A and B are shown apart, each in its own frame.
Chain A
Amino acid sequence: MSIELKNVTYTYMPRTPFERTALHEVSICIKKDEFTAIVGHTGSGKSTLVQHLNGLLLPTNGQVFVEGTDINKKEPAALAAKRRVGMVFQYPEHQLFEESVYKDIAFGPRNMELAEEEVERRVRKAMEFVNLDYEEYKEHSPFQLSGGQMRRVAIAGVIALQPDYLVLDEPTAGLDPRGHKDLLAKLSQLHKQEKIGIVLVSHNMDDVARLADRVILLNQSRVVINSSAKTAFRETKKIRAAGLDIPQVTALLQTISEQGLAVDTDVFQFDEAVEAIFQAAKGAKSC
């Protein structure tokens, strides 16, 4: 159960003066039971990479397999495989177009030619999932909602497709702290309860540290780190070289450990870190 990229290279506007390689020989494997984070500086190729996951971009070289099916072959199985991967773009609220919230969320399921009862069931479920009351909002125009609500409608529109994998390109950009926290909690819930494989593209290393099982770091169109979150954040140098910062909790623990107090630097949750420091301090005293 995975999405696999084999030696994927992608070049924008090949054979013109504007030619630019955005991905270089990328081979990664995204597992369904992992929460994967793709991090990197602006222009490192993150967005290009995720657009390969459901066949929006055709690799210049290399192959993409979803559950073992090459999605860029021209056969019905490839189309079905593509549909297993849902994609939420940056600022997804910019893609809303229907006159009511219901119709907009139903756009995807209707394209899949589902029966109307099934469409309604899915819309209801998706709206409940993003905390929008079905009866209250279904007839609302999406354009009269607040920015945060619009984004939730847009995300519901993708969730209603019931994909096996959900790819989100910086879904929290421009949200207030509360919306930010709520959305990430929802993603975590989606991963744990619905067993959907999540791919999160982000700059925010604190979020990544809190949520991700696997971290893929891109720098100048190449994969620099591809490992479990624990080992990834030990590579402070590589992360800094890529123009990013290590999570604040890790930075704090690393500083403490450099100062000579033996503390476990592999924890990323705030309360776990408190506990680790507490334990280390206790251990130091008792010696």
Chain B
Amino acid sequence: MRKLRAWLIRLWGFSKRDLHDREFDEEIETHLQMHIEDNLRSGMTAEEARRQAILKLGGVETTRQAYREESTLPYGETLWQDLRYTIRQLLKNPGFAATAILVLTLGIGSTVTIFAFVDAALIKPLPYREPSRLVVIFGSIPLGPKFHLSFPDYYDFKKLNKVFSSFEVYDNNGFMISTPTGAQLASGAKVSAGFFRTLGVTPMMGRDFLPGEDTPSAPRTVILSYEAWQRRYGGRADVLGQTVTLGGAPNTIVGVLPKDFSFAPAAPADFWAAEHDESPCRGCHWLFGLGRLKDGVSIESAAADMTSIALQLEKQYPDSNRGNGAALFLLSDVIVGDIRPIMLVLLGGAGLLLVIACVNVASLLLVRTQSRKREIAVRGALGASRGRLLRQFVTEGLVLAAIASGFGLFAADGAMQLLTRLIPEDALAGMPYLQGLGVSWHVLIFGLAVSLFTGLLFSLTPTLSLSLAEMRAGLVEGGRSAAGTLWRRLGARLVVVELATAVVLLVGAGLLAKSFYRLLQVDPGLQPDNLAALLLSPAQEKYSKDPQKVALERELLQRVCALPGVASASIANQLPVGDGDTTTTFRIVGRPSHGEHNEVAYRQVSADYFHTLQVRLLEGRYFTSAEDATKPPVVLINRALARQYFPGEDPVGKRINFSNGKPEEEMQIIGMIDDIREGPLDVEARAAMYVPFEQHTPWSEFSIVARTSVDAESLLPMLAASIHQMDPGIATYGATTMNQRIHDSPAAYLHRASAWLVGSFAALALVLSVVGLYGVIAYSVSQRTREIGVRIALGAQRSTVYRLILKEAAWLIAFGIVAGLAGSVAAATAMRKLLFGTEAWDAFTLVAVAGVLSTAALAASYLPARRAALVSPVESLRAE
């Protein structure tokens, strides 16, 4: 207690130093005077009395120092001094400060960013009760282990198992929701009544499903996700008890889920309805199981139990259950299993970057220590203790690390937002743990730990090269220690590795960027500007027959064409630049069939389709609006189909039919168009045939595309509104422009994301390697100052000195680039699959990278070379 009291008083003393000093002076003065008076009284002369008193009492200045240290906190005081001195040093040397801080910021920023992702995905526990006990149960069939369960199988598994304390099911289909502005597709899931209890989640408002609420006869109830409650109901409290029409049936809203609730396997889901379907069909699989393991039961023994039940069911129901088993996965593996290796690789890469950054800054610090040797020696000679000097270095290291960490955290926050934006929305929905990603407590603590670690590293670096003995020697001669030589060799090797790594990453980034550019250059076969598109899903009951669909098509097109800003509109069963699916098989009339499997893309389009998309007609003619079911069937083919199936022939006028088509369904080829990329942009256009909508109406869903004279984006809301005005029962979704569709297509996303990711790593590597090179060359120059001075004194020209230093750098650069180029061709060959329209040994990229890197590296070594050339022989010799 006494100690604490003293400490507090001393802390307080900090603020009143001047007062303390004045009082102390006065007290000492009094003391001295009293002493002198006593001496006088004992008969000394005035001068002698004063001399004796001063002699006896010792130095006032040292006493004042001791007193001051006692009256306040000396380390606080010197800390403040050290801090001011450090900041002065950094400001005096802005080039060093900026470089060191930049390099560290990059290293810390990237590590913290990747850590935030790893934390969100792998470290943070799932937001459920005891998440490690939750498993997902899939049906396994000979094709694979992740298929659905049927309801009767689920029921039997639930009844017969001895390993789960609860066993529930979910399925993740959306709902058709009726809203005042028409039908829409809403995300949602159906779950059995105990689903949320199994997870250990309770609604934040209202109630959970009651046991038995999932039977076919129970009244229909639904629970909202928090996000849906906010977005669809404005967060109103009276939402409970309201009804919402899902799939045509009214459901009562009974609860709202907590804000942080998410369940990735069924995400995104606005509506969580109770599952009422107890279909007795064992062959109908549409459910996934969710189970909570009983205490002490391992997932292996649970799997064994389930397998034995499955075998039993297989014996009992051989018709439906042959080869059907059950596969168990931990819920956490289901959610993050796919990205775990990617995350760990990225974390490893970022960690490596941080280490390289640290080594580089350490080498910069070493260079600076060399040039500060004399200053340090002088301070030491003036009485600074080793501890005091060490403290100065520690302060400098910590200040550097602290500033860089501050910037690094900001950079990390920005990078996190950027990276999450690179993930397309669909994929992001499956990663709910990334929502609200930012600088959390975990991340902050990690950042602090990293910064402390780097700070200590930098505090120790200069002291390594600065033993006490050497510190003294620094006064007399420029010490050239064995440690210095060792560092030069080690540093040089490290720089070669850094340069080579930078080359590999730069080449990778260059190739990926070129691929992305090439991809965007791909001619989609249509004019994508000013095209608006919308997906439609009309209610089945109302539009089941062909004439109904044709009438719908005509009215839709008429309404949409009447919208202001729409030049033309048409309908297709599938939009271009999709997955290339929806195919048909056909045969050529008049050619013997040997059972070939002629599969081509199959598009049902309205008459104006090619005109709207501005597709080039190569031969023949387009459809006319008169070509309906009453006219002879016609078909248009693309160039790829002609090349593949009619090589060297003129296809126009030939007749084809579906593989199992009747003779009256034979279609005449009336024209050939240029290839439209129906599939991904990075896959060659494949054969496709186009038939008139009115002769072959699609099943249910189709898309409408409109060529606009205004900005296509601005037309989208009107497009949906006009369709709902016509029939509110038509669900509309996926509104987008053609350019956006191309931009968001998986191929574009993949190339863009990888180019960005590799590109940013490459930029970091470039900066780091150049700084590393600078550090090594500058250190070498600082070590060779004397030698250079002698050379100049002996008549060496400045240009010779330049050549001397730049030659040293050039060797390192050449080694690095050659090794890097060899490595990058190997790496590029390995990632050939990611490249598009670009060779792994793309000469332009290789030369450009070598050029960029050697320019940057030579520029970095020019600075120390210049310093060397400007060495004054007299000074360099005298200084040592």
Answer whether A and B are interacting partners.
Answer: no
- B positions within 8 Å CB-CB of A: none
- A positions within 8 Å CB-CB of B: none
